[in-house]
Amino acid sequence: MSDAPRLQVICTDHAPAPVGPYNQAVVAPGTRNLIFVAGQIPLDPTTGTLVAGDIGSQTQQVLENLRAVVQAAGSDLSAVVKTTVFLKDLADFQSMNAVYARYFPDPAPARSCVEVSRLPRDVAIEIECIALV
């Protein structure tokens, strides 16, 4: 048996359930207690269906899913220190950014945003984050 600190698994019904060998989030033990949230896509956790509509609607659902997971860890979006946004098309950046700014007012977390060729279930956006607990 290892004496290494164990990760605390975070799971909530208010965000989509994992569809593979991963968790919605894990909290790393230590002095800062960081929560690492798996990438969220625009799935409605109640119905399990993808949110239809433009990138703004999809971004809103993704951020609501992130909020639910972070809250399940006992934190909130104001404690997010880093996000990574994956967009299928960087032409959606401005619309995504307008919604994103409502969820992360100043001081906003550090962020990376990249265009990717494909995302799970062929969605247009996925966002992951790291937050303080």
| Active-site residue list | 113
Structure tokens at 127: 């966002």
Are 69 and 130 a contacting pair, CB within 8 Å? no
* CA neighbor of 38 nearest in space, from 61, 55, 17, 7: 17
List the strands of the sheet with 25-28, edge to edge.
8-10, 25-28, 34-40, 125-132, 80-87, 110-115
Token pair of 89 as six digits? 């098309």
Give CA–CA dist 112/127, Å, rounded.
10
